[in-house]
Amino acid sequence: MSKIIIKTPDEIEKIRVAGKLAAEVLEMITPYVKEGITTAELDQICHDYIVKEQDAYPAPLNYHGFPKSICTSINHVVCHGIPADKKLKNDDILNIDITVKKDDYHGDTSKMFMIGEPSGMAKKLVEVTYECLWKGIEVVKPGNHFGDIGAVIEKHAKKYGYSIVDAFCGHGIGASFHEPPHVMHHGKAGTGAKFEEGMIFTIEPMINIGKRAVSVLKDGWTAVTKDRSLSAQWEHTILVTKDGYEVLTLREEERS
Binding-site entries = 80, 97, 108, 171, 178, 204, 235
Which residues define the annotated binding site for substrate? 80, 178
Closest CA to 27 of 233, 256, 255: 255
What span, in angstroms and rounded, lies between the C-alpha atoms of 200 and 174? Answer: 7
Closest CA to 173 of 164, 165, 182: 182
Residue 252 buriedness (CB in 10 A; 0-12 / 13-18 / 19+): exposed
Contacts of 74 by beta carbon, 8 Å cutoff, 6+ apart: 39, 81, 86, 88, 92, 93, 94, 95
What span, in angstroms and rounded, lies between the C-alpha atoms of 238 and 150? Answer: 15
Which residues define the annotated binding site for a divalent metal cation? 97, 108, 171, 204, 235
What span, in angstroms and rounded, lies between the C-alpha atoms of 167 and 211? Answer: 12
